[in-house]
Amino acid sequence: MTLNGFENETVVGSNIPVDVIRRRKEQLKREIQ
């Protein structure tokens, strides 16, 4: 799954604050690298 797909699914699936989404994206980027 791409980061963009993950972000879209998270936003649509629940009311998670944007800052939480940003933190998760940063964690995913670290794991991928």
Query: pLDDT of 16-33, one tens digit each?
Result: 677 888 899 999 999 877
Phi, psi of 16 (to 5 degrees): -80, 135
Counting the structural domains of the chain, the total is 1
- Cα gap 19→33, rounded to integer Å: 21
- Cα gap 3→5, rounded to integer Å: 5
Task: Report the pLDDT value the prediction gives residue 5, as an integer from 0 to 100.
Answer: 58
Kindly report the CA angle at 31 between 28 and 33, in degrees rounded to 5? 110
Q: For residue 19, what are the domain limits?
A: 3-32
Between 24 and 14, the higher pLDDT residue: 24
Give Rg (Cα) of the chain.
Answer: 9
